[in-house]
Structures are given as structure tokens and as C-alpha cells.
Structure 1
Amino acid sequence: MVLKENKNNADGKAKKTDSPNTPETDEQKNSDEGNNLEDKDDNKGVEDQLNEQKEKVLRLSAEFENFKKRKQREIDEFKKFANETIFRQLLSVVDNLERAIGSATNAVEEASLLEGVKLTHKEILTLFESFNVKLVEAENQPFDPNFHQAVTHEQNDDVPDNTVINVLQKGYMLHDRLLRPAMVIVSKKS
């Protein structure tokens, strides 16, 4: 019987084969069947590992997509409210302009000054609108602690209880975020 040695198979073992005219013995058949079972077991283990790695990759991919979406939402939120500090500081300018308009209204000879201040005030309010800064509605509205800051209560039987009867300082919103609450006087029944 002439046996030839082939190159190593997948598991690194040399496999012996018979020459074409030598019949296989029972011992050789059992050995080949055992090797085939080992190969199937090895393949099964490799397939399981491959499936585990595929699942890990899919999970990581989903986590990464969620991370990207979350970061994009954070960036959008930042862009939306990036000017908040500027507008908060501009509010005091608007307040001073409104006071100047109120005090200049009584002086007849200061008509041109009054007109200039009114135009400046109007321009700033237009700027606010372009950046979605809106006035908080307060006067004659029900008191809402989310948007109004009560300075005092005043007895008034002409309006329902807890109604804003006077606005001392206007409140403003940037998109849907409160920049500054309106400082108000709230009615109280006697």
C-alpha cells in the first residue's frame, strides 16, 4: 500500500490519502469521518463567533446613529438659543428707550427727539422679531408664574381675581424659552 502525504488541511493536520488503486481500510474510513465531524464542529464555532461579531457591529452602528442624532439635536438647540445673552442685554436698552419715550411725550418742544427715540425703539423691536424674540402678553391676562413675576397685589373688583392689571416691566421670549418674565401687579378681590 502506497500512501501519499498531501498539504495540510484547514486544521493544520497532514492528511494521508491512498493511491488510486489501493482500497481504504476501515481504520482510514473512521479516521476520515472523525476529521469531518471535527471540521463541522470547528465551522459551527466559527459561524457562532461570526454571528456574535455581526450583532456587535449592528449594535454599535445603531448606537452611533443615535449618538449622531443626539449631537445634531444639541447643535440645533445651541444655534437656536446662541443669541440669548445678547438679547437679554438689549432688553435694558429697550426699557430705557421706552422710559425716554414716556418722559419726552410731555415735552412739546422735544418733538424731534421723541420721534428719533421712537424710530430707534421700533427698529430694535423689528430686530427682535427677526430673531424670534417676542413680547410676553401680560396686561389683562390671567397671572401665569411661568411668564409673569408678581411684584405686588392690588385690590380691584373690576377684574377677576389673579389678573394682571399693570405691567411694570415687559417680559420677552426667545422662540419658546423665557428670556425675562414680565414684572406685574396682580389683582386681588377685596
Structure 2
Amino acid sequence: MHKDKEKLNHAETAEEKETAEKEFRGRKELKNEVVKLKSEVEHWKNEYYRAYADTRNLRATLEKEQSRALKYRAEGFIEALLPILDSFYLALKQEPTDPALKNYLTGFQYIYRNLVSVLENEGVKEITPQVGDKFDPLKMNAMDVVETDGEANLVANVYGKGYQLHDMIVRHAMVSVTGKPKAKENKPEQNPEAQKPEDAPKHEDQCKCDA
């Protein structure tokens, strides 16, 4: 009877031990699975944030390009108008004495002002330097240099207006600028009375040999 009881206790102990080991292995496997799932969650969370950031950056880039396209949409149109604006500019600089031509000029001025007004509504501004202004390389193109003893780097003549669309230069104003005279080379003065070697008198041999 005592031996049977010991066997029973031993069997129960072995069973409990096996059960405990199974529970331990189960908890360990579950813990490993949790760690694996957490790692996957972290991975996909990072992927989501990365994709979200890329999407935001792409959207911002597209919006910026769209905004720029709308802002400067008139650039090509303005460039096509430049020859016409130049023709108006040259015509309006004339001072005709004929009354009929003066009437035509008045009409040109009206058309030109209206055209400029329309362009200004689109963000276009004229670049109109005046003689004596400081030369600005960002808005002006120096076509020539006029030597002067006065201050250098000033606008000497204006050949054509420039145009800008908002903050973008469509065409620089064409001007000439003042500059200091070029230094003359100092050449040594020649004495006009100096004889050239070939002009020196030739001396005849005065020594005659007696026969």
C-alpha cells in the first residue's frame, strides 16, 4: 500500500513537472512571438511614416511647381511681345513736327499705356534705368563702355527697356556704362636729329700706298 502511494506521488510529480515544462516552453514561445510581432509592427510603422513623409514631400513639390507655373505662366507670352514693346518704345521716343504724325503718336501712346497696364496686372514690371543711375548687373546688360573722367559704372545711355515678371528677369535693360579712360602706353621719344647707322657718313680711306 505504501509503495502504491509512492508510485502515485511519483507519477503526479512527473506529470506536474511535464506540465510545468510545457507551460514554460509555451510562455517562451509566446514571448518570442510577441517580440517578433513587435519587431514587425515597428518595421511597418517606420515604413508607413517613410511613405507618408515621401507623399507629403511629393505633394509639396507638386504644389510648388504648380504655383510657380501659375505665377510665371505669362513668361512665354511676354517674350513674344518684346519686339512689339521695343517698337512702341522707339516710336514714342520720336518728336515729329508734322501734326498728322503727332496724332498717330498720341494714338500709339494710348495703345502702349493700355498694353503696359494689362501686363502690370499679370505681374510684369518695366526696368527703366535713367542716365546717371548706378549700373545694376542684376537688371541691366552693359552693351558698351563710354570713357569718362568722372565717376565710373554709371548708366551713360539707354538702348532698350528691360522687363521682369514678379521676381524673375525676363530681359535685362540694355545700356552703356561709364568707365575710366584706358591708360596710354608710354613710348620712349625718339630724337629726330639722331642719325641712323645707315645715314652715318662713310669715310674714304685716306691712306694710299706708294707704288
Q: How does the TM-score come out when normalised to structure 2?
A: 0.73
TM score, norm. by length of structure 1: 0.81
Residue 44 of structure 1 is matched in structure 2 by 35
Tell me which residue corresponds to 2:44: 53
Instruction: Tell me, in whole angstroms, the C-alpha distance in 1 between the residues paired with 2:74 and 2:28.
Output: 70
The 3-state SS of whatever aligns with 2:125 is: strand
The corresponding residue for 2:107 is 116
Deviates more, 1:60-69 or 1:108-117: 108-117
Amino acid at match of 1:109: A
SS in 2 for 1:125: helix
Taking a change above 3 Å as real, the CA distance of residues 175 and 119 of structure 1, as seen in their structure-2 partners, is same
Q: Which whole-Å CA distance do the structure 1 matches of 2:39 and 2:64 have between them?
A: 38
The answer to whether the Cα contact below 8 Å between 1:104 and 1:110 also exists between their aligned partners in 2 is no
Task: Name the % identity.
Answer: 24
- Asked if 1:151 corresponds to 2:139, the answer is no
Aligned CA RMSD, in angstroms, stands at 1.9
Whose Rg is larger?
2
Query: Residue type of the partner of 1:41?
Result: N
Which of 132, 148, 153 is 1:162 aligned to?
Answer: 153
The equivalent of 2:167 in structure 1 is 176
1:15-36, Cα deviation, whole Å (9 max, x unpaired) = xxxxxxx995221221122112
CA distance in structure 1 between the aligned counterparts of 2:163 and 2:156, rounded to whole angstroms: 18
Q: For 1:64-83, what aligned pairs fall within 5 Å after superposition? A: 64-83=55-74
Paired residues, what number? 168
Q: 2: CA distance between counterparts of 1:97 and 1:173?
A: 18
- Counterpart contact for 1:148–1:182, Cα < 8 Å: yes
Give the whole-Å Cα distance in 1 for the aligned partners of 2:52 and 2:65: 20
- Return the alpha-carbon distance in structure 2 between the equivalents of residues 165 and 57 of structure 1: 63
Structure 2 counterpart of 1:79, one-letter code:
L
Which stretches in structure 1 are left out of the alignment for 5+ residues? 1-21
Q: Distance in 2 between matches of 1:89 and 1:83?
A: 10
